[in-house]
Amino acid sequence: MLQQYFYWKRKAEGFLSGSKYWAWPVTIVALLARFAFFAYPSGDYTQFLQPWFEELKAAGGLAAIGLPVGDYMVTYLYILALLTYLPLPGIVSIKIVSCVGDLVLAIYGMRAAKLLTNSESTARAAYTALLFLPTVLLNSGAWGQCDSLYTAALLACFYYSLRQCPKKSMLAFGAALAFKLQAIFLAPFLFYLWLQGRVKFRHFFLVPAVYLLAILPAFLAGRPLADLLTIYFRQTGTYTQLSMGAPNPYAWLGSLHVSWLTALGVALGAAAALATVYLLCKKSTAPSPLLLIKAAYLFALMLPFLLPRMHERYFYPADVFSVLYFYSADTPQKRVIPLITVFCSFFSSCRFLFGWAWVSPALLSLPLLCALVFLCRDTLAAAP
């Protein structure tokens, strides 16, 4: 079956490289696939996004950005406020924004794949794969979530790190962090780049600068500065269960509320990330592009797997980076790792989205653990 998969993959790449207008049919079909889910109201939309949208609309759209609406970062609330002026149903306009994020994500993924493989057809195949990646398609089309926005910025951060443009890379990371706290999953990767001399310490100040710039409109509109600076701190206390549906070891503990286990899990995740950075620095002094994609993918997969209180969609960045790893892998066997990642993430997402109660996040954590172990070994082996 794996041989048949790669046969059809080569066929698809041949089609993609045969026309300069290849992007149009791919993009149109991808958008139509998302439109098919537009009428579906996910739990997140009905419980959070729709009430926030209606509250902003009732309060005057942009005139309401100074109000404490919802618990998302204000950057996304600005977008919701702008959407209230469109003559479209809220669910449609919200999902359109996420679809735009998908396109930006796919474009940066294509550019990064071109740098990694030096192949135009592979870059186009990566663009296609990212648009049709199940978790990406469902996140915007059915879920209505905005994970594509911050992950697109993370991909831009990675792309500019390949090009050794540290300022642009840190600005992109700052933009990602200005949308979602989960952008922090790539922080160990940037720490590694700093230790390797590819990023200067002064460049890190661009991250809080972007954050401050993002909260400025809400501050000028009347929202207290202390409230704006502590949005993410409050978010971390919203859910206290060790497991929030993510396919990681905490899924075996159900919905327990144990504070000391939470602290232990955070310490474990931080220690594992720092240990990985140390080993990478010890083994390599000049990271290759191939090592960089492996490291970025590893951290994006490792942290949501080891940290407690993770939701299923927190593996979204890992799914996206897995595509770049897939197309840059030097052996077919290594391509099984991203397939496992996407498989586990897809089924855990469907469990939340469509009520697939028969899906067990605990059982899914086992193949994901295997993928993480093999990815870790492959990453460390790539460091000469």
What's the whole-number mean pLDDT along residues 211-228? 96
Q: Is pLDDT at 114 greater than 90 in this prediction?
A: yes
Say yes or no to pLDDT of 86 above 90. yes
Q: Residue 236: its pLDDT value, please? A: 81
- Which position has the higher pLDDT, 86 or 12? 86
Work out the pLDDT band at 378, boundaries 50, 70, 90.
very high
* Distance separating alpha carbons of residues 368 and 281, to the nearest angstrom: 26
Average pLDDT value for residue range 232-251? 88
Of residues 2 and 192, more confidence is placed in: 192
For the cut 80, the answer to whether the pLDDT of residue 350 exceeds it is yes
58-78: pLDDT as tens digits: 999 999 999 999 889 999 999
Cα–Cα dist 203/174, whole Å: 11
Task: Locate the DSSP E strands across the chain.
Answer: 243-244, 310-311
Q: Which range has the worst mean pLDDT, 9-23, 114-128, 325-339?
A: 9-23
More confident residue, 2 or 141: 141
- Quote the radius of gyration of the chain (alpha carbons, Å): 20
CA-nearest of 121, 139, 119 to 131 is 139
Q: What does the pLDDT read at residue 247?
A: 96
**All residues at 6 or more sequence positions from 287 whose CB lies less than 8 Å from its CB, including other chains:** 192, 193, 196, 198, 280, 295, 383
Of 146-150, 158-162, 330-334, minimum mean pLDDT range: 330-334
Per-residue confidence (pLDDT) for residue 240, from 0 to 100: 79
Interatomic CA distance for residues 32 and 24, integer angstroms: 12
Give pLDDT, residue 235.
Answer: 86
Please tell me the least confidently modeled range out of 1-10, 40-49, 114-123, 144-153: 1-10
Q: Which of 7-21, 289-303, 314-328 is predicted with the least confidence, judged by mean pLDDT?
A: 7-21
Quick check: 12 pLDDT over 60?
no
pLDDT of residue 275: 96
How far is Cα of residue 303 from the mean position of the Cα atoms in its chain?
A: 12
What pLDDT is stored for residue 167 in this prediction? 97
> Half-sphere exposure (CA, 13 Å, Cβ side) for 22?
18
Q: Is the pLDDT of residue 145 over 90?
A: yes
* CA 67 – CA 177 distance, rounded (Å): 21
Q: Is 113 in contact with 290 (CB distance < 8 Å)?
A: no
- Share of residues in the chain with pLDDT > 90 (%): 83
Digit-coded pLDDT (tens) for 243-302: 899 999 999 987 777 788 889 999 999 999 999 999 999 876 788 999 999 999 999 999
Per-residue confidence (pLDDT) for residue 250, from 0 to 100: 94
pLDDT of residue 4: 56
Contacts 24+ apart (CB under 8 A), 124-127: 124/13, 124/16, 124/17, 124/22, 124/23, 125/9, 125/12, 125/13, 125/16, 125/327, 126/323, 126/324, 126/327, 127/23, 127/26
pLDDT of res. 13: 54
Query: With 80 as the cut, is the pLDDT of residue 10 above it?
Result: no
pTM (global) more than 0.85: yes
**What DSSP line would sit under 183-209, residue for residue?**
GGGGHHHHHHHHHTTSS-GGGGGHHHH
pLDDT at 17: 53
The per-residue pLDDT of the chain, averaged, comes to: 92
- Tell me the average pLDDT across 165-189: 97
In the chain, what are the domain boundaries?
Answer: 25-238, 239-384
